């Protein structure tokens, strides 16, 4: 059997795991795609009609690109940290779509001007991280000038406003008309200013020693752009005050040891893949503080390395959220690397975790992430000392296990799986049977079976099938 991806990689990922080389393969491919996307964006601007990219905007893009190149010569790693930041992906995709609008007389999308202006902020942030002295004129939109990975300058609300930026001696000076300048000090730990108009990107400690800190980014203007959050059942993005950030930090502090309960591969994949957290507001059903069982989380294929999440009620649920969402990250990256199936996108399949019909790809994604959760919660239950913790973990395990068991036959029975997809699904089936060898205490499995049966009945009534 000739495979486009090594069989060892497919088997590791099929087990919802992934060693360092496997994860590095996914990361390298995604990073290459991001750099190609950025080059395509510049090429699209060069080819775009003046209605989409006026001459002055094109000149500015060329200057931004030249600044990026100079910054990369000064410090390649610093520049890549900005260009490969997860939330630069949604911006680049939207900007490219705006520049390639079809039609004999294309009309620019309302947001295209802001998208083009953001390229200047991206280049400035890269130069700042590379400690390359520069001066540039940037543009604030909607009362905010965001410098990706660093922070944002709060400006007066109103129409787009110019902001002159200058880096000298590791200090960035930001000047606006009729306002006192803001000086931001650049250090290895971030960008800080005494002026309250400067809002730094806050970070959470590394998942484990040697990993990078994790930005808790509530500032980037593209963190939810074109994501359809509410349409996908997610709550809205939110901005955090100092008290809320402190609560996130306390929850985060307990995540790493709980990830380790799921096996050494869980903190390893979080350290390798997680590049930022985007806070979501508490979903309907949650208390105003975010406490309670209601929770909302998701990922975006174009924002590789980002997890969007409302604050989980406990560190255990925080850890399980990362386990869940990082499986989506891995599987989406693998699917970009090699096709896993040739099924169409018609939503027709029952998935116990959704009330609407799912396309085959959505079914595969959901089964994959829930299989990882079933494994995680089983390990948690087997290692928990407190009865209440064991009961919670067994209940979560049993529900996820039965949900996966309800859809695995559909995945396994598909004739449209590629060779790579078949290896992946077969390994998923093997994991399912392995975890089924250890049954939860009486009652948990019975309730889980009833839960899935009821979900199927309601789904059939709702969807007329």
pLDDT digits (tens, 9 = 90+) for 367-410: 999 999 999 999 999 998 888 899 999 999 999 999 999 999 99
pLDDT-flagged residues of the chain (< 70): 1-2, 105, 232-233, 285-294
Give SS3 for 150. coil
Query: Can you give the pLDDT at residue 75?
Result: 97
Place of tokens 């903190």: 267
Predicted confidence (pLDDT) per residue in 420-448, tens digit:
999 999 999 999 999 999 999 989 999 99
Predicted TM-score (pTM) of the model is 0.94
**In the chain, what is the greatest distance between 2 CA atoms, to the nearest angstrom?**
71
Domain assignments of the chain as residue spans, ordered by start: 48-200, 202-332, 339-465
Smallest CA-to-CA distance from 186 within 135, 128, 138 is with 128
Query: Can you give the pLDDT at residue 235?
Result: 77
Query: Can you give the pLDDT at residue 268?
Result: 96
Query: Can you give the pLDDT at residue 295?
Result: 83
Query: Can you give the pLDDT at residue 290?
Result: 45
3-class SS string, 210-257: CCCCEEECCCCCCCCCCCCCHHHCCCCECCCCHHHHHHHHHHHHCHHH
Contact 18, 27 (CB under 8 A): no
């Amino acid at each position: 059997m000739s495979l486009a991806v090594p069989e060892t990689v497919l088997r590791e990922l099929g087990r919802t795991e992934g060693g360092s080389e496997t994860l590095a393969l996914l990361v390298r491919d995604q990073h290459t795609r991001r750099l190609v996307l950025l080059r395509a964006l510049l090429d699209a601007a060069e080819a775009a009609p003046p209605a989409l990219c006026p001459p002055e905007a094109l000149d500015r893009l060329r200057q931004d690109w030249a600044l990026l190149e100079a910054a990369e010569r000064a410090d390649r790693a610093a520049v890549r940290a900005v260009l490969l930041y997860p939330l630069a992906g949604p911006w680049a995709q939207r900007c490219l779509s705006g520049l390639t609008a079809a039609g004999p007389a294309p009309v620019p999308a309302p947001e295209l001007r802001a998208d083009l202006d953001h390229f200047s902020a991206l280049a400035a942030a890269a130069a700042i991280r590379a400690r390359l002295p520069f001066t540039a004129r940037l543009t604030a939109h909607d009362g905010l000038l965001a410098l990706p990975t660093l922070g944002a300058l709060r400006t007066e609300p109103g129409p787009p406003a110019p902001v002159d930026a200058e880096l000298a001696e590791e200090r960035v000076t930001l000047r606006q008309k009729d306002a006192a300048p803001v000086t931001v000090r650049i250090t290895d730990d971030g960008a800080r200013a005494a002026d309250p108009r400067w809002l730094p990107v806050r970070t959470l400690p590394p998942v484990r020693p040697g990993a990078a800190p994790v930005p808790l980014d509530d500032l980037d203007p593209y963190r939810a752009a074109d994501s359809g959050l509410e349409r996908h059942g997610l709550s809205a993005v939110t901005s955090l005050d100092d008290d809320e950030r402190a609560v996130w930090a306390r929850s985060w502090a307990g995540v790493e040891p709980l990830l380790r309960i799921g096996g050494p591969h869980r903190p390893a994949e979080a350290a390798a893949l997680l590049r930022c957290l985007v806070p979501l507001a508490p979903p309907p059903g949650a208390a105003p503080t975010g406490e309670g069982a209601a929770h909302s989380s998701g990922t975006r294929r174009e924002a590789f390395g980002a997890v969007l999440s409302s604050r989980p009620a406990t560190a255990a649920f925080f850890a399980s959220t990362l386990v869940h969402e990082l499986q989506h990250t891995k599987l989406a990256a693998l699917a970009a690397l090699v096709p896993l199936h040739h099924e169409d996108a018609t939503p027709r399949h029952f998935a116990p975790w959704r009330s609407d019909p799912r396309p085959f790809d959505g079914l595969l994604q959901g089964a994959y992430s829930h299989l990882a959760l079933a494994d995680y919660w089983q390990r948690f239950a087997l290692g928990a000392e407190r009865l209440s913790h064991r009961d919670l973990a067994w209940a979560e395990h049993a529900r996820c296990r039965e949900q996966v068991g309800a859809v695995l036959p559909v995945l396994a029975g598909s004739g449209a799986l590629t060779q790579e997809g078949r290896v992946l699904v077969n390994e998923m089936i093997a994991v399912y049977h392995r975890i089924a060898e250890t049954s939860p205490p009486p009652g948990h499995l019975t309730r889980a079976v009833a839960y899935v049966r009821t979900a199927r009945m309601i789904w059939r009534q709702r969807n007329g099938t």
